[in-house]
Structure 1
Amino acid sequence: MGVIRVHEFTTVDGVVDAPMWTMDYGFPDDLATSIGALTAPATGILLGRTTFEMFAPAWSTRTAEEDPGAPFFNDTTKYVVSSTLTDAEGVWRNSTALGGYDADRIRALKADHDLYVSGSATLVRGLVDDGLVDELHLYVYPVAVGSGIRLFPEGRPQTKLALLGVESLSNGVAHLTYGPAA
């Protein structure tokens, strides 16, 4: 059985959308190493359509010389959860459209793969609700932006998690790792 590891850049007030606010904090070696530890065991990338469509133009033309993460993102099979996207391969090589969210389909995919998820807030909410997330990695930036998409927006039912780890990074970011509550 595989695992699903989720990676989110977030602010202290929980905003996860279009994280341009990360630019002010750089991408130091310890952050790269931390994220590399999440991607290294992955045999597949699971993304929601919006994140997939943001990542495709950003990553598909990058080379390893430009960014050491490029081979992972370009060579690893990407599974896209979308009820509207039908030709993921036409957008970004090594990509497959899974259709709309289906917990059983993702459970079957997880049975054969260690999956890495980045962004994809709507997808992640469903994965958490269905008990499919093994590790939720929150990279909390020391900034509050006041508005934007939150991973757990107001009005959701309470979600209990168990703290698995804490890492302080050189750029002031706190890496918090959570798993399912016992």
Structure 2
Amino acid sequence: MPANTQQQRKVIADAVVSMDGYTSTGPEDDMSWAMEHITSEQSEIMYEGIWRGVSTAVVGRVNWEGFTSVWPGLTNDPASSARTRDLGDWLATVDKVVISTTLQQTDLDRTEWVNARVSRDLEAEVRSLKAAPGRDILVLNSASIIKALLKADLIDELSLTVLPTTLGGGVRLLPDGLSSTWRLSHATTIPTTGAVALCYRRP
């Protein structure tokens, strides 16, 4: 391979879903049903294997507001595990793109987190990120963004953690009418919470 040829960055979509396919219980993205799993030691190990290979994170408005209200406290809490604090430090400093039609840059700058910017055009932004140098790009549990990128065929890897819970309603992760084929890369069981983590890649 020529020295100046660089492999294109992957877009990895990471989401927690219920057995009946929902990623949150409603428009405010209530994740209380998943917190036992998210905060378990085995889950922390699994997530660390994903985010350490990433240099850009993409989030939507709801997750941005939720993350920035919760994670600084977790990061600064002496009772938090070392992995939780490491993840919090990474979230605070990694390059972040917030997809929103309502947030302004001043809204982002008021938080404790740095290296964050607003983007209005999701598809154009992700295409530009894929072509730019860097490590992989991670979409953090934002259903609306994942749906749009799946429809645009811009997701290379889909990391789904299925929890042994049915929600009966809420926000579905996968869009209606989408036909696509994926290859199972690996699967991991998390005995403490009964979750199954599935990693799919485009063939």
What TM-score, normalized by structure 2, do the two folds share? 0.80
Within 5 Å, which residues of 2 pair with 1:138-157? 138-153=160-175, 155-157=176-178
Distance 1:61 1:100, change over 3 A: farther
Give the Å deviation of 1:178: 1.1
Give 1:164's match in structure 2, choosing from 185, 190, 194.
Answer: 185
User: What are the equivalent positions in structure 2 for 1:33-52 lying under 5 Å apart?
Assistant: 33-52=45-64
SS at match of 1:52: helix
Tell me, yes or no, if structure 1 residue 109 matches structure 2 residue 109: no
User: What do the CA deviations read for 1:1-36 (whole angstroms, capped 9, x no partner)?
Assistant: 211111111110011012211234473322111110
Q: Secondary structure at the match of 1:160?
A: coil
> Whole-Å Cα distance in 2 between the matches of residues 9 and 60 of structure 1?
21
Greater Rg, structure 1 or structure 2?
A: 2
- List structure 1 runs of 4+ shifted beyond 6 angstroms: none
Unaligned runs of 5+ in 2: 1-7, 25-29
**Deviation larger for 18-27 or 41-50:** 18-27
Contact 1:85 1:99 in 2 (8 A): no
Deviation at 1:54, TM superposition (A): 1.3
Give the match for residue 115 of structure 2.
94
Q: Give the aligned residue type for 2:115.
A: N
**For residues 62 and 26 of structure 1, what CA distance do their matches in structure 2 show?**
13
TM-score by length of 1: 0.88
**Are 1:63 and 2:63 counterparts?**
no
CA-atom RMSD in angstroms: 1.9
2:13 counterpart of 1:6: yes
Q: What is the percent sequence identity of the aligned residues?
A: 23
Look up the match of 2:4: none
Match of 2:94 among 49, 69, 76: 76
Distance of aligned partners of 1:169 and 1:53 in 2 relative to their CA distance in 1, 3 Å threshold: same
